[in-house]
Amino acid sequence: MREVDRIMIEDLHIELIQMMENAGRNLARLAVARFAPARVLVLAGSGGNGGGGLVAARHLANHGVGVEVVLGKDPGELGDVPARQLDAVARMGVPIVAEPSPADLYIDALIGYSLTGNPWGRIAELIEWLGGQPEPILALDTPSGLDVTTGEPGTPSVTATATLTLAAPKTGLLETEVVGELYLGDISVPPSVYDVFGASMPVDLFAEQAVVRLSPG
């Protein structure tokens, strides 16, 4: 996936902010269609995964859903593109709160596929807090704390009700039940990118909808 991102940005000039917008919009759509929440709490990390969660917060707010955001890092620690998303969310008046509180649905956008080792610090605290909540959790790309290559959950790790993974399913997501219902979201990766790796992704996979369910049911 790192190489997919590189090809998209460097070779095709499809920028991170464009892919992030697609990811967050599709996440918001799935949240509404699957869970119909009146109130959503988005837990966002400092990288691209967190940026996607912030995009979802913006789209949910646009659709009349009550949204609050809790950051896993100080705002000054966000990457450039996630920081732009945070600025847009704040300008819209979406509350950025210091501590999590109960909601109808939690969006886990704390850590993406780049995790190495166990979560720690504030991110770990938020993951542990999520573990004590009875309401459903929708994870973006991967449940935070999961090794997406091996499928081994870290300590701590999120157990999701559903996961929207992006571009292609990571091998570890197919090896564990902590992902819950598994969906695949279109972030505008052209078939030619998959061809570089000899991957057999159907060209019509997203012909009818931008989110498809991969797990049975």
pLDDT in tens, the chain (217 residues): 778 888 999 999 999 999 999 999 999 999 999 999 999 999 999 999 999 999 999 999 999 999 999 999 999 999 999 999 999 999 999 999 999 999 999 999 999 887 778 999 999 999 999 999 999 999 999 999 999 989 999 999 999 999 999 988 888 998 889 999 999 999 988 888 877 776 667 777 788 899 999 976 5
Domain boundaries, the chain: 2-213
DSSP codes, 179-215: T-EEEEE-----HHHHHHTT----TTTTSS-SEEE-S
* Nearest of 35, 37, 103 to residue 69 by alpha carbon: 103
**CATH 3.40.50.920 corresponds to the domain 2-213:** no
Helix (H, G, I), strand (E, B) or coil at 211: strand
Tally Cβ neighbours within 10 Å of residue 82. Answer: 29
At residue 117's C-alpha, the angle toward residues 140 and 41, to 5°, is: 30
